[in-house]
Amino acid sequence: MKNSSIIAVDAMGGDKGPPVTIKAILAFLNEYSDVRIVFIGSKEACGLFSHACSCPSIRARAEVVACSVQVDDSEKPTVSLRNKRESSMAKAIELVATGNAHACVSAGNTGTMMSFGMKILKPLPGITRPAICALLPTLNRSTLALDLGANLECSAEQLHQFARLGALTAQCLYKIDYPSVTLLNIGLEPIKGSTLIREAAERISQDETINYCGFIEPNQMFLGNADVIVCDGFSGNIALKTSEGVAEMIAESYQRMYDKNWISRLGAFFFRRLTSSLNKTINPAYHNGAFFVGLEGIMIKSHGAAGVNSFGKALVTARQVVDQNIFQALKSNLITQGAIATRSKV
């Protein structure tokens, strides 16, 4: 019998904290009987969670860890790193580092999570900085994009590392040998973009382990033609949040249109449910649960603004990443290929 996945959850992170995380965890435990949860939160939150775990089969799969310190979202990551080692976020990551959990999930500050990840879990061999990656919805299938916000300023070498990490992750996720890797840029021609992005393109194109297919423009990201899209964390976060904003605007515009006149109300009668389901399929905001790659363990980053359903998606992502053994496969591939710096011909 397969062992249960153990997921450590920082119950205090995110804009809404325990009122959201508790409900999401209970629904998650209820839906998946093969998972165990370590709930990490304030004494009060732990009490609320324990009280809510009324069903014995759920209670048997939930453990609580109380802590008195919380990461403050408006605090600089360097400050949190120094003063918040006893926080719910740090504790969740520590459980992964000590082998007591297979993955951790937090909706807390991305920069702080990154700093704790670097400090507590450590980067994989040959990796300077980990990246946040996620599967973006496209017309045909999902596309793996990284970095989506962990590294705001990247060197060409870091973008090269992300390309390698992205390719290895896509290999594991999509079960393909040689995934296509692209670099996000504002044009397709080799002369387009900053010096840094052109230098990164040069480095990646000379790495024989990567099936580099050139630049990709943001308007092509959603066609589903690339397995992997590499970008710096600032651009990636801009693209991700823009896509969410446009999808929301369009969904809202449709809602307004439904009430416009009798024709559209009649159309809506047949159509509203399909529109709503389509919006859930294509709106990147519904695909919550980005994960860090490049660390010695699995960390899942939920949106800070996630509601119950959305935080639940992050928990499901954690279970999938653990179940699909992505991390172990990625690590062993990385070790087989050798350190990135020594493999590149640049």
Positions in the binding site for a copy of itself (CB under 8 A): 73-76, 138-139, 149, 152-153, 184, 186, 189-191, 193-194, 217-223, 233-235, 237-250, 252-254, 257, 260, 263-264, 266-271, 274, 278, 281-282, 285
At closest approach, how far in Å is the CB of 27 from a copy of itself?
25
At closest approach, how far in Å is the CB of 255 from a copy of itself?
11
Q: Which is nearer to a copy of itself, 18 or 149 (CB)?
A: 149
Place of tokens 């890797």: 181
Q: DSSP 3-state assignment of 25?
A: helix
At closest approach, how far in Å is the CB of 289 from a copy of itself?
17
In the 3-class helix/strand/coil scheme, how is 64-84 assigned residue by residue?
A: EEECCECCCCCCCHHHHHHHC
At closest approach, how far in Å is the CB of 232 from a copy of itself?
9
Interatomic CA distance for residues 254 and 259, integer angstroms:
9
Give the angle subtended at the CA of 281 by the CAs of 275 and 283, to the nearest 5°: 90
> What's the length of the chain?
346
Q: Which is nearer to a copy of itself, 50 or 242 (CB)?
A: 242
| DSSP-assigned states of every residue in 172-237 | HHHT-SS-EEEEE-S-SSTT-S-HHHHHHHHHHHT-TTSEEEEEE-GGGTTTT--SEEE--HHHHH
Q: Which is nearer to a copy of itself, 64 or 213 (CB)?
A: 213
Q: Which is nearer to a copy of itself, 68 or 74 (CB)?
A: 74
Q: Which is nearer to a copy of itself, 277 or 332 (CB)?
A: 277
Question: Could you tell me how far CA 276 lies from the centroid of its own chain?
Answer: 24
Q: Which is nearer to a copy of itself, 59 or 141 (CB)?
A: 141
Interatomic CA distance for residues 310 and 21, integer angstroms:
10
Closest CA to 154 of 181, 127, 135: 127
At closest approach, how far in Å is the CB of 210 from a copy of itself?
22
Q: Which is nearer to a copy of itself, 125 or 245 (CB)?
A: 245
147 preceded by a cis bond (ω within 30 of 0): yes
At closest approach, how far in Å is the CB of 108 from a copy of itself?
13
* Backbone angle region of 66, left / alpha / beta, with phi > 0 → left and psi within -120 to 50 → alpha: beta
At closest approach, how far in Å is the CB of 227 from a copy of itself?
17
